[in-house]
Amino acid sequence: MMRILLFLATNLGVILVASITLRLLGVEPYLNAQGLNMNSLLIFCFIFGMAGSMISLFISKWMAKRSTGTVVIEQPSNSTEKWLLDTVAELSREAGIKTPEVGIFPAQQSNAFATGWNRNDALVAVSAGLLNRMRPEEVRAVLAHEIGHVANGDMVTLALIQGVVNTFVMFFARVVAHLVDSFLKSRTDGAGLGFMGYFAVVIVAEIVFGIVASAIVAWFSRFREYRADAAGAQLAGSGAMINALARLKAETELPDQMPDTLRAMAITKGQTKSLMERMFASHPPLDDRIRALKEAAYRQ
């Protein structure tokens, strides 16, 4: 499961570097001189826009291990680790995927995440707090949720969506800058924005369009959480999945120990209250997720 915040840091860096590079290499002035060739601009934006998402996707597992302190279980040292490996292997077989790497990260808040560049080369990790406080059937449900993310191909799908929105953020930002520049030239005898003015308009437009793009990606992330909950219910049972989410809800007041770049990767990000928080939240409220599972169980 690839998550939003991991992408944002890399993608923002790539977009800013791409903006400077396109300008310094003379690509944008050339396009302007040609009357802003839309096809060429879109191709350039697509290449650079997708680059951030692909880089994030391929380094996601390495980043997750480093930022959370996850220790991958190579050989189980106790019965809990053996049960964890066996359970992930069993759930993976049922989901039809290759068994992911399994790890534990040192956080007292109950949490878990999955990441990796494809469904057959993933990592599933749980917090020490989750193992200590949840019942085995609840831990199994959490693992099933994460396996659901992997089996659904959420990592690749989110990377593609992020790459597409990056492309259009860069593209429309330059279109806006070109229009502003053309307008000023028509009113000031050809003075226009100038180098710094043009670059400033591009950056401001990228920030504005980037906020809209983040809301789109967040919407998909929330949709994907419902799907992973449904997969978890199918693999581990609706009752166990509902109980696991209820247990997570009871811990929402505990300090969030997940790194910023991985909060959206976790099975829960806590409760969101305001409309703005809900719009940009990577996870739906736990109450809504529990209600959706109960309604699905009632229909069956």
The tens digit of pLDDT for each residue in 87-127 reads 999 999 999 999 999 999 998 888 999 998 888 999 999 99
Per mean pLDDT, which range of 23-32, 114-123, 151-160, 276-285 is the poorest?
23-32
255 pLDDT above the threshold of 60: no
Residue with tokens 């591009």: 202
pLDDT of residue 3: 41
The residue annotated as part of the active site, out of 138, 146, 206, 251, is 146
What is the SS3 assignment for 180? Answer: helix
d(CA 7, CA 180): 30
pLDDT of residue 292: 92
* CA 38 vs CA 41, 44, 121: distances in Å: 5, 10, 38
The edge-to-edge listing of strands for the beta sheet with 71-72 is 71-72, 101-105, 122-127, 112-116
pLDDT of residue 26: 61
User: What size, in residues, is the chain?
Assistant: 300
Which of these, 265, 9, 300, lies nearest to 113 by C-alpha position?
A: 265
pLDDT of residue 92: 95
Per mean pLDDT, which range of 59-63, 70-74, 108-112, 176-180 is the poorest?
176-180
pLDDT of residue 128: 92
**Mind listing the pLDDT tens digit for each residue in 190-243?**
677 777 788 888 889 988 998 888 888 888 888 899 999 999 999 999 999 999
40 pLDDT above the threshold of 60: yes
Instruction: Please name the residue ranges forming H helices in 106-252.
Output: 128-133, 136-151, 154-187, 194-236, 238-250
**Mind listing the pLDDT tens digit for each residue in 6-20?**
445 555 555 566 566
288 pLDDT above the threshold of 50: yes
pLDDT of residue 12: 57
pLDDT of residue 187: 76
Across the chain, mean pLDDT equals: 81
pLDDT of residue 1: 37
Binding residues for Zn(2+), as ranges, are: 145, 149, 225
pLDDT of residue 199: 85
2 pLDDT above the threshold of 50: no
pLDDT of residue 91: 96
Binding residues, as ranges, are: 145, 149, 225
Question: In this structure, which amino acid lies at residue 183?
Answer: F
Residue 146 annotated in active site = yes
Question: In this structure, which amino acid lies at residue 72?
Answer: V
